[in-house]
Structure 1
Amino acid sequence: MRSLLPCTRRLALVLLAGTAVTAHAGPLESLEEFVRSARSGRAEFTQVVTAPGRDGQAPRTRRSSGTFEFQRPDRFRFVYREPFAQTLVADGQTLWLHDVDLNQVTARKQAGVLASTPAALIAAAPDLQAIRRDFELLALPDQGGLQWVQATPRNREGQVASIKVGLRGDALAALDILDSFGQRSVLTFTGFQLNPALAADTFRFTPPKGADVIRQP
């Protein structure tokens, strides 16, 4: 499977939402209001992944884009349009990854792969106290017109080393994710819709006919 796929598994488990915040709220207060208010969302996304160079080579950069939808608790869909067509769906029980070009589907138990990830930080936790059970939170200085909160997983054995959450006004604008391999993924979001009514089958996934289905623990 092409080299983009493992990166997608690690870093594409990202959810987006937006919420109204007070004009002078600090980063932690903005994050708390965002977590409290966002029940569902829809947006366009761009993801830039930078991997460390090896043997003195320059870092490698890959760019992808697509659409994203989510609904609490623990349901989301990423549709990657470029550079390769892929679909990532969490239906509450199973995490499905479909590589369209290869017609290959990977299925994993959702509970075993989302802990201490951006999905757990943004989509599952009902309040800031729940987030603090899994993450150490630190308010960072404003940068690039955004408020920033750094979330470091308390479980240091996972694949995510740290997550920076960027908020602009009433919306979550960016996620900056560093994994344990030194690979960085920056996601930016546009055209966000807060709490839209999503179709019931948005988060259902049925492997296409003839697809090679790989089931992992």
Structure 2
Amino acid sequence: MSMVVFFSFGMTSVVNAAPTATDQQATQALVRQLTGLRSFSADFEQTTKANIKSNAPKKAVSAQHLNQKFTGVMKVERPGKFYWETMAPSKQIIVTSGKTIWIYDPDLQQVVRQTVSDQVANTPALLLSGNTAQIMQSYTVSQPDVSKSYYTLIPKNTEGSFQDLSIGFAKDGTPNVMILNDALGQTTTINFNRVIKNTKITPSTFNFVPPKGTDIIDQ
């Protein structure tokens, strides 16, 4: 799943640089942000662009999704529950109740089934629903400006599908943006809108049952 508008609050002045946090301070600050986020739902807008500074082969960058806007809804309940539905321009559903993640493509009548433990480092949006301790073991966290709730995570496993992930939080503690730089030389930006924080989500939202006739592919 490729995911995550660039935002001005993450930028710092070249004349008066903002104070930065140590990795430990940044990690602790991010843990506090995630701990206070028991559940949330939001609409999202996602765009992907080629990173012109990347050394990745240009043929590796899929032109099909570049500069195209994807919209949909997402719902998260920690720990481990996640629902992501892309509605336009094509439909896809990604859902997990904590152990198995389902990636459903209704147009192909096909669903891919994977274990969540294998996907934490490869599916950035799952960070929002994951176990905080596990996340902190998998990433090095930095905070470019201690006055801003904006963090960059770099996977400790260099064989993952993305190079770094940045996440920003609004003043009320809700995520409002994710920016992903992947291994194919692409930058994906996801903006979250109409965010509702810490309200009860219907349990059945996170339980996926493949529709009759759907091909199931285990990976």
Shorter-chain TM-score above 0.5: yes
Corresponding residue for 1:175?
178
> What TM-score, normalized by structure 1, do the two folds share?
0.77
Corresponding residue for 1:132?
136
Deviation at 1:118, TM superposition (A): 2.5
CA distance in 2, matches of 1:187, 1:102: 25
Alignment of 1:53-68 (within 5 A): 54=58, 60-68=66-74
Contact 1:116-1:155 within 8 A present in 2 as well:
no
Structure with more relative contact order (C-alpha pairs < 8 Å, separation 6 or more)? 2
3-state DSSP of counterpart to 1:122 = helix
CA pair 131-108 structure 1, distance change in 2 beyond 3 A: closer
Amino acid at match of 2:214: A
What is the aligned residue count? Answer: 189
* Deviation string, structure 1 residues 101-141 (Cα, Å, up to 9, x no partner): 121111112211113652454322336xx543221111124
> What TM-score, normalized by structure 2, do the two folds share?
0.76
* Deviation string, structure 1 residues 9-47 (Cα, Å, up to 9, x no partner): xx35x8xxxxxxxxxxx8946533321111111111111
CA pair 105-121 structure 1, distance change in 2 beyond 3 A: closer
Corresponding residue for 2:192?
189
Contact 1:79-1:88 within 8 A present in 2 as well:
yes
CA distance in 1, matches of 2:37, 2:67: 32
> Mean alpha-carbon deviation: is it higher for 207-216 or for 111-120?
111-120
CA pair 105-52 structure 1, distance change in 2 beyond 3 A: same
Amino acid at match of 1:138: S
Quote the RMSD (CA, aligned, Å).
2.7
Does residue 49 (structure 1) correspond to residue 48 (structure 2)? The answer is yes
Identity of aligned residues (%): 27
* Deviation string, structure 1 residues 80-114 (Cα, Å, up to 9, x no partner): 11010111111212111111112111111221111
Corresponding residue for 1:215?
218
> Mean alpha-carbon deviation: is it higher for 157-166 or for 26-35?
26-35
* Deviation string, structure 1 residues 151-198 (Cα, Å, up to 9, x no partner): 111111111210011122112110001111112111110111111111
- Give unmatched runs, 5+ long, in structure 2: 5-20, 53-57
- Give unmatched runs, 5+ long, in structure 1: 1-7, 15-25
Amino acid at match of 1:151: L
Contact 1:160-1:180 within 8 A present in 2 as well:
yes
Q: Which one of 84, 94, 98 corresponds to residue 88 of structure 1?
A: 94
3-state DSSP of counterpart to 2:184 = coil
Does residue 203 (structure 1) correspond to residue 206 (structure 2)? The answer is yes
Structure (1 or 2) with the greater strand fraction: 1
